[in-house]
Amino acid sequence: MADAPLPPGATIGILGGGQLGRMTALAAANLGYRCHVFCQNPDEPAAQVAAATTVAAFDDTEALDAFAAAVDVATLEFENVPIATLERIAERTPVHPAPAVQAVAQNRLREKDFANEQGIATAPYRAVTSAEELRTAVAEIGTPSVLKTVRFGYDGKGQVAIRADTDLAAAWADSGAGPETDGGILEGFVDFACEVSVIVARGRDGGSAAYVPVENRHRNHILDETVAPADIPAATADAAREAALRLTGALDVVGLLAIEMFVTGDGGVLVNEIAPRPHNSGHWTMDACRTGQFEQLVRAVCGLPLGDPSRRCDAVMKNLIGDEIENWREHVATPNAKLHLYGKADTRPGRKMGHVNFLGKPVSG
């Protein structure tokens, strides 16, 4: 029966071999599922813990067809899996969240358009496809502003700050925006009070469960720490949660949707980005919530009931970036610290090597 949950022993296909896939595979194993990882290198973090691995390119149709035939459902842990890859797999086996959701999330213009169509505010923005159009957009949006590529930007890559005296031709060239990124987007700079995110799990039956809003602190454009819960007014937390649930429902997500937002000085929220996959700002849930984000993803895509997302204790998640992994001995000896390492052989500056969840005050009741 199409709607019956997948029984233990079934196989979940995961596109992408990074740490998000690794932690999904570990959660899946706890519920009795097998994972088959499709990645580009046999030693990637997820491949190390998977029951089966396909090492092939995302445009290798023969490998994709064999993968689709070998799995009972597919999901992804990597944002930029080509839509054509997802659609090809979806012809043979369910893909959650659906390729149509990924198509919105991979494109900064489409995600902002979609949010605004749902009545959810974003920073002001304009599409830009040339230095000339950048000039017009800067005249309309003003400075300071931020030029980003429409596709393939992450962790601040493909972003250029625009000020009143910026040489716009040089900024356009520096951004790397062009036909292969579907152009650029100019966004008004938000003088935010803090950055928060909400992760929502949504099941095949349309039921959803949101985690509490958390605050994300970045260093060098990379997430450094997540503080759970965010120290924001109750009305702001409600607005963040409400926006996240509305977007998840409107996109008909099955699986997880992470929604990153700016909190403005007056306590309002502006959606910045969405990601239909497990998210770094949800790693704290593994140890501090009744059901962690990876288990929720497995439950959602397999058609199981969603778990309880409520928080057992406050937490701070600290990413171990580059040689911060050297401190693992100290973390593993700290009683309230839960260490998670990703099995990456090479330490490189800016590379996420692991994270630590520092568990805080228990939530009463």
- Residues of this chain that interact with ligand AMP (CB under 6 A) are 123, 146, 153-154, 156, 187, 189-190, 195, 218, 221, 260, 272-273
Q: Which amino acid is at 336?
A: N
> Three-state DSSP class for 339?
strand
Q: Of 25 and 141, which has the nearer Cβ to ligand AMP?
A: 141
- The minimum distance between CB 29 and ligand AMP, in angstroms, equals 31
Q: Contact at 8 Å (CB) between 288 and 312?
A: yes
Q: How far is the CB of 265 from ligand AMP (least distance, A)?
A: 13
The least CB distance from residue 259 to ligand AMP, in Å, is 11
* Separation between Cα atoms, residue 115 and residue 131, nearest integer Å: 27
As measured in angstroms, the least distance from the Cβ of 6 to ligand AMP is 33
| Residue 101 neighbours by CB distance under 10 Å | 22
Q: Could you tell me the smallest distance in angstroms from the CB atom of residue 314 to ligand AMP?
A: 22
> Considering the complex, what minimum distance in angstroms separates the CB of residue 156 from ligand AMP?
5
11/280 with CB nearer ligand AMP? 280
Beta-bridged to residue 356, according to DSSP, are 318, 339
Strand 208-210 relative to strand 34-39: parallel, antiparallel, unpaired? unpaired
Distance CA 192, CA 200 (A): 23
In the complex, minimum distance from the CB of residue 146 to ligand AMP, in angstroms, rounded to a whole number: 5
**What distances in angstroms separate CA 49 from CA 19, 220, 317, one per listed residue?**
10, 30, 23
Q: Do the Cβ atoms of 277 and 258 come closer than 8 Å?
A: yes
Distance, CA of 13 to CA of 264 (rounded, Å): 39
Contact (CB, 8 A) for 302 and 324: no
Q: Which residue lies nearer to ligand AMP by CB, 54 or 181?
A: 181
Q: Which is nearer to ligand AMP, 94 or 213 (CB)?
A: 213
CB contact at 8 A, 24 and 96: no
Region class of 267: left (phi > 0), else alpha (psi between -120 and 50), else beta: left
194 or 306: CB nearest ligand AMP: 194
**Judged by CB, which is closer to ligand AMP: 7, or 350?**
350
Question: Angle 58-272-200 (CA atoms, 0-180°, nearest 5)?
Answer: 70
Q: How far is the CB of 186 from ligand AMP (least distance, A)?
A: 9
CB-facing half-sphere around the CA of 52: CA atoms within 13 A: 14
Q: Which is nearer to ligand AMP, 192 or 328 (CB)?
A: 192
Cβ nearer to ligand AMP, comparing 349 with 365: 349
* Residue 153 CB, nearest approach to ligand AMP (Å): 5
Q: Please give the backbone phi and psi of residue 273, each rounded to the nearest 5 degrees, phi first.
A: -150, 150
Instruction: Please measure the distance between the N-terminal and C-terminal CA atoms of the chain and give it in whole angstroms.
Output: 40
Assess contact for 108 and 177: CB atoms under 8 A. Answer: no
144 vs 343, beta carbon nearer ligand AMP: 144
